[in-house]
Amino acid sequence: MKSKTCRLDRFISQNSAFKLSDVRLLLAQKRILLDGQIAQSIQQKVTQFTQVILDDQCLQNNQPLYVLLNKPQGVVSATTDLKHKTVVDLLEHPKKDELHIVGRLDLNTTGLVLLSNDGAWSRKISLPETKLAKIYEVTLAKPLTPEYIQVFREGIYFAYENITTQPAHLEIISDYHARLSLVEGKYHQVKRMFGYFQNEVLALHRASVGPITLAGLELGQSRDLTTQEMAAIEAHCVV
Ligand code: URA
């Protein structure tokens, strides 16, 4: 999930026959275009999505990709796996091999998975500080009690990571069903939080991430996020 950002002079020297020291002259001769604008300085930043044209040659032209998938049970949140079908196997996207997973789900968890080739975006929406709510629908083995609500709000200590979970909102739907809202994604977090009460999670489904839902997307189906959805995510991010 690396964000490849570098200075213009370094980018040119790594992606053409010109040397680092040639780039000032190329700039003076107005031979480099960055996203359609004549480049001005050797220090200009080139991200993985900056279009770079030198003379008539396009050196880079990557499009950011943002994909939404409704993951079925038994599909692993990985890009390759010897035993199970992966979330990437389910995609029909022509550039699916460039994608990484933004927030994994366990093998038997169903629901919303985001994939992207934009590391900076993925990091941003995964950060607890961004406060983007991930909503899980949970089916439990034992009945729920109001005590869970208080404990989840206060946070649960995870000894392995030596952290206390961020305040989480639990809505009890019925004795065995709840809706849990988290702003982070620690390993097996939902199962471990209910494990605090020795209550086994029998079924788990991620229904939404921020404003993004699975409406209209059958299990196993995927599609690109729309411009409106991207803007809505941005608007929901606190930082
Ligand atoms: N928490 C879990 O325990 N499992 C998941 O798949 C997602 C969150």
Q: How far is CA 171 from the centre of its chain?
A: 25
Spacing, Cα 90 to ligand 1 middle (Å): 20
Q: What is the pLDDT of residues 176-186, one digit of tens each?
A: 999 999 999 99
Q: Are residues 43 and 131 in the same domain?
A: no
**Average pLDDT score over residue span 207-232:** 97
Q: Is the pLDDT of residue 8 over 80?
A: yes
Q: Is the CB of 77 under 6 A from ligand 1?
A: no
Structure-token pair, residue 37: 């604008």
Q: How far apart are CA 97 and CA 45, in angstroms?
A: 26
Q: Is the pLDDT of residue 203 over 90?
A: yes
> What pLDDT, on a 0 to 100 scale, did the predictor assign at position 4?
76
Q: How far apart are CA 180 and CA 185, in angstroms?
A: 12
Residue pointed to by tokens 């608007």: 235
Tally Cβ neighbours within 10 Å of residue 196.
14
Query: Is 114 inside any structural domain?
Result: yes
Name the amino acid, one letter, at 147. Answer: E
> What pLDDT, on a 0 to 100 scale, did the predictor assign at position 238?
84
> What pLDDT, on a 0 to 100 scale, did the predictor assign at position 1?
55
Q: What is the pLDDT of residues 132-185, one digit of tens each?
A: 999 999 999 999 999 999 999 999 999 999 999 999 999 999 999 999 999 999
**Average pLDDT score over residue span 56-78:** 97
Query: Is 104 inside any structural domain?
Result: yes
Q: Is 97 a catalytic residue?
A: no
Q: Is the CB of 204 under 6 A from ligand 1?
A: yes
Q: Are residues 38 and 125 in the same domain?
A: no
User: Using CA positions, which residue lies closest to atom 3 of ligand 1?
Assistant: 188
Spacing, Cα 155 to ligand 1 middle (Å): 16
> What pLDDT, on a 0 to 100 scale, did the predictor assign at position 151?
98
Q: What is the pLDDT of residues 92-108, one digit of tens each?
A: 999 999 999 999 999 99
Residue pointed to by tokens 């044209």: 53
> What pLDDT, on a 0 to 100 scale, did the predictor assign at position 3?
61
Q: How far apart are CA 118 and CA 233, in angstroms?
A: 14
Pocket of ligand 1, candidates 75, 76, 106: which has the most ligand atoms within 8 Å of its Cβ, to mutate? 106
Q: How far apart are CA 99 and CA 87, in angstroms?
A: 10
Number of domains in the chain: 2
Q: Are residues 13 and 70 in the same domain?
A: no
Classify the C-alpha dihedral 143-146-151-152 as positive or negative. Answer: positive
Q: Are residues 13 and 87 in the same domain?
A: no
Which of 124, 126, 64 is closest to 99 using CA atoms?
64
Q: How far apart are CA 210 and CA 229, in angstroms?
A: 10
Q: What is the pLDDT of residues 13-52, one digit of tens each?
A: 999 999 999 999 999 999 999 999 999 999 999 999 999 9
Structure-token pair, residue 4: 């490849």
User: Mean pLDDT for the chain?
Assistant: 96
Cα distance from N-terminal residue to C-terminal residue, the chain = 20
Spacing, Cα 192 to ligand 1 middle (Å): 9
Query: Is 1 inside any structural domain?
Result: no
- Closest atom of ligand 1 relative to the 77 alpha carbon: 6
> What pLDDT, on a 0 to 100 scale, did the predictor assign at position 58?
98
CATH number at residue 55: 3.10.290.10
> What pLDDT, on a 0 to 100 scale, did the predictor assign at position 30?
98
**Average pLDDT score over residue span 72-99:** 96
Q: Is the pLDDT of residue 221 over 60?
A: yes
SS (H, E, C) the chain: CCCCCEEHHHHHHHHCCCCHHHHHHHHHCCCEEECCEECCCCCCEECCCCCEEECCEEEECCCCCEEEEEECCCCECCCCCCCCCEHHHHCCCCCHHHCEEECCCCCCCEEEEEEECCHHHHHHHHCHHHCCCEEEEEEECCCCCCHHHHHHHHCCEECCCCEECCCCEEEEEECCEEEEEECCCCCCHHHHHHHCCCCCEEEEEEEEECCEECCCCCCCCEEECCHHHHHHHHHHCCC
Which of 22, 81, 89, 106 is catalytic? The answer is 106
Q: Are residues 84 and 143 in the same domain?
A: yes
Domain that holds residue 22: 6-60
Q: How far apart are CA 30 and CA 26, in angstroms?
A: 6
CA distances from 24 to 12, 40, 110, 201 (A): 11, 9, 53, 61
- Closest atom of ligand 1 relative to the 105 alpha carbon: 6
Spacing, Cα 62 to ligand 1 middle (Å): 32
